[in-house]
Amino acid sequence: MAEPVLKIEGISKSFGALKASDDVSLDLVPGEIHALIGPNGAGKTTLIAQIAGSLQPDRGRVHLEGRDVTALDTVARARAGLGRTFQISSLAMEDSVLQNAVLGALGARQKPLGLFARVMKDRDLTEVAMQALREVGLEEYAKFRVADLSHGQRRQLEVAVALTLQPHVFLMDEPMAGLGAEGSAQLVPLLQRLKSRAPILLVEHDMDAVFQLADRISVLVYGRIIATGTPDEIRANAEVREAYLGEEDAA
């Protein structure tokens, strides 16, 4: 297998007596979608936060393209090539699609709005933003207000915003959430195309999407990875079935 682009080694994180991450190791190789699944509260969001840099692990290391980035904050990790889409939309709803993408390209949402007019005149930034919109299929919507887009189109725009930073790795936290069948049907082929550009670590509850998209799946239960394998291997894994059936029993 090719050298991993992202490698997580022995990550542990406790909240009091609760082990939210328990010696987690996983990697992401070029060209793949690696899905991270698990019951509610298994520790998926906590793990993503430690990979993105918004939460420090108690133990363990995060390597990006061979470089140890464990001590870096989220901004430095983003600059190092870690692209992220969020569970909660970070788009500016009243601004246009292009303005949102340009702000992403600028990587500086916190800049005073007064700068905005000048920013929009910067040809390079606008070109980077338009290229990202083309890649996700939103070119024709560049002048639309974000508020007027469908949910599915907003997710596409979030991916475009992440793309403007030219990431080497994507972290995606539940991109299918709230989309419904039509929105998912738009996003699935986009992620399929995107993985050859940068591999994707995908946290997702929508099992149809996961089994359509993933090249490998890791299953997290009580903070521990209990299995990593191809979709077929995961489907056939007795311990995985039990973990999910256990959840259904409890519900």
In angstroms, give the least distance from the CB of 173 to ligand ATP. Answer: 8
To the nearest 10°, report the CA torsion of 167, 171, 177, 182. Answer: 40
Side-chain half-sphere exposure of 155, counting CA atoms within 13 A: 23
In angstroms, give the least distance from the CB of 47 to ligand ATP. Answer: 7
> CA-to-CA distance for 84 and 67, rounded, in angstroms?
18
> CA-to-CA distance for 182 and 42, rounded, in angstroms?
28
In angstroms, give the least distance from the CB of 19 to ligand ATP. Answer: 9
Cβ nearer to ligand ATP, comparing 39 with 83: 39
Residues β-bridged to residue 67: 64
AA identity, residue 108 = A
In angstroms, give the least distance from the CB of 246 to ligand ATP. Answer: 15
In angstroms, give the least distance from the CB of 46 to ligand ATP. Answer: 3
Phi-psi region of 136 (alpha: psi -120 to 50; beta: other; left: phi over 0): alpha
Residue count of the chain, please give it.
251
Cβ nearer to ligand ATP, comparing 116 with 211: 211
In angstroms, give the least distance from the CB of 81 to ligand ATP. Answer: 24
Judging by beta carbons within 10 Å of its beta carbon (0-12, 13-18, 19+), is residue 96 exposed, middle or buried? middle
Angle at alpha carbon of residue 55, lines to 45 and 164, rounded to 5°: 75
Given the rule CB under 6 A, which residues bind ligand ATP? 15, 18, 20, 38, 40-46
H or E segment to which residue 8 belongs: strand 6-15
Other CB atoms within a 10 A radius of the CB of residue 79 amount to 11
Cβ nearer to ligand ATP, comparing 47 with 97: 47
Cβ nearer to ligand ATP, comparing 46 with 153: 46
Cβ nearer to ligand ATP, comparing 158 with 174: 174
